[in-house]
Amino acid sequence: MPISETFSVTVKVHAKVPRFFILHDKEYIMTAYIASLVFVVLAEMGDKTQLLAMAFASRYRWQTVMWGVFSATLANHLFAVVLGSYLTSIVPLHYIQIMASASFILFGLWTIRGDKLDNEDKRFNFSPFWTVAVAFFFAEMGDKTQLATIALAAKYSNIIPVWLGTTSGMLIADAIGIIFGIVLGKKIPERAVKWFAAVIFILFGIAGLYGSLPKHFITLPVIIGGIAIILLSIYGIVRMNKQADDLVEKNDDGPK
């Protein structure tokens, strides 16, 4: 079923039912789980929290790191999905769908911009497990993957599959980072993965907006203007990234 049709069906069927108590069929639950897993895997590639997991894996046993990531993600994303589901009980679902779709476009732009680790792996000094868990929990607060989890919970209106899907996605993405970066000593093709993930996010967001916005609002000038804004935003982010890279390279080549 096309994404736009899925959104419209959801609005019609569940508009007056409290979101915490909706029962969905197995196909819908699997769709929510798989979509949540895939989107978080894409969002986590090259993200600050993946870099954090890789940094910890260079200091502690990878099993300890993964358990810490698992525990922190369970707690953090439980808060995120509850918040996302709660929003649907106080904000009309139609507006939730529009905001969630727009947020995916922003996540795509955020992915292009990229993230960098800012000493998050050195802020806490507990036992290895608690150091990883606490650092990862706080690093995830307000991060792209947490915000994506809130949006997914609002979009699919089902706590458990979104919670489990996003948690699974975090574990898969961080395991990939640890395997490539620590075990195999290789670098993930960050640029290719980043652009692929960004394109998926932006296309998903555009499709969601097409299905959620009032039809009289979707005119040719609006479509052209929206695409132009996205392309200009991408161009601006690419330029800023290039300027930042040039500055870093200049500083590295400077006097020592």
pLDDT of 44-98, one tens digit each? Answer: 887 788 888 888 888 888 889 999 999 999 999 999 999 888 887 887 777 877 8
pTM of the model: 0.68
Better-predicted residue by pLDDT, 82 or 158: 82
Q: What is the pLDDT of residue 164?
A: 95
User: Using an 8 Å Cβ cutoff, are 54 and 181 in contact?
Assistant: yes
Residue 139's alpha-carbon distances to 34, 35, 193, 240, in angstroms, are 24, 23, 22, 24
d(CA 35, CA 37): 5
d(CA 199, CA 105): 9
Going from N- to C-terminal start, the domains of the chain cover 3-214, 219-256
Res. 37 pLDDT band, cuts 50 70 90:
very high
Q: Give per-residue pLDDT as tens, 213-228.
A: 888 888 888 889 999 9
Residue 3 has pLDDT above 70, yes or no: no
d(CA 36, CA 45): 14
Least confident of 134-138, 142-146, 188-192: 188-192
d(CA 202, CA 33): 20
